[in-house]
Amino acid sequence: MNNSIKFFIKKKDAQKRLDIFLSEKINYLTRSNIKKVIEIKNVKINNKTTILPSKKVKTDDVIEINFMQKKIDSVPPSRIKLDIRFEDNDILIVNKPKGMVVHPGAGNYKNTLANALIYKYKDKLSDINGRLRPGIVHRIDKETSGILVIAKNNLSHSKLGEQFSKHSIERKYLCLIWGIIRPLKGSISTLISRNKRNRQLMAVSEFSGKKAITNYKTLKVFNLKDIPKISLIECSLETGRTHQIRVHMKYKGTSLLGDSKYGKSKIKFKKNNKEFFNNLSNLKGQALHAQSLGFMHPTKNKWVSFESELPNDFKKLLGFLENLSG
């Protein structure tokens, strides 16, 4: 299997930075990811390895990027404190903070949840999903906070995986969106596939993709002076597609506060209310939190459920809106 890609530099691309050129050609990797790939010696120019993202390319240069040169057979341990909400012999319940990737991938080999799990539990985790995803049964986005279940053995992983496949897991998220979603309560059922223009993003598709179902209800609408209308929404997922809630909100003509990928490019409002603007600016990613998770315990044959509180940035913004609304 060929895991490398070659590019031949044309005159129009000469003198571009290496990382900029590659990020333009490989649109499913961010420029930050590209830099990391270069720095771990996975890129060659004219058969010579380079570690300089800023290196200028020249006409007729041959650039080769090899994604498997530094193949990882196992996850290196990282000493990262975990917020563990429950643990027994079969499962862990972890409250993942914003900014943490769940498992290693292109450009993210360290400081993921998987790295932290390996440091604390070593080989006492399931390996059904391979050595790069120890104990990982499901995922949430990097900038989404909240509850995840981790399997400590393969039997538990298998039984949990079956529940996810049958959509019997109960997953509830809280989010803040711009405007009001109509109807105030409902279900969104579409196909979701990769965005054809940007492979890093997902999009609703009419003819291809995986079925995605999001049930939602509006908990409160904030209609405040000098601030656009904002709604607090609870979403219950029947399926767990990549970026599902964010894609479905975009499909309904709105977006999550703080969502730089799927958000509206221009939200018009007066900046008279500086405190609101400051709270909005302090959001670390989208206002989306995996609040609760319920399932049949894989060995005890009883229903269990777990919840986690909102992260501070989300909580502070919501509290500000609540106070203004009286």
Q: What is the DSSP string of 222-264?
A: E--TTS--EEEEEEEESS--TTHHHHHHHHTT--BTT-TTTS-
Instruction: Indicate which residue of 19, 61, 141, 259 is catalytic.
Output: 141
The two beta strands, 202-205 and 91-96, are unpaired
Residue 317 Cα distances to 15, 127, 222, angstroms: 45, 39, 12
Distance CA 247, CA 315 (A): 23
Contact 235, 216 (CB under 8 A): yes
Among 164, 134, 165, 163, which Cα is nearest to 150's? 134
Asked if 1 and 22 touch (Cβ cutoff 8 Å), the reply is no
Q: How many CB atoms lie within 10 A of CB 37?
A: 23
**Residue 141 annotated to the active site:** yes
Q: Hey, which residues are catalytic here?
A: 141
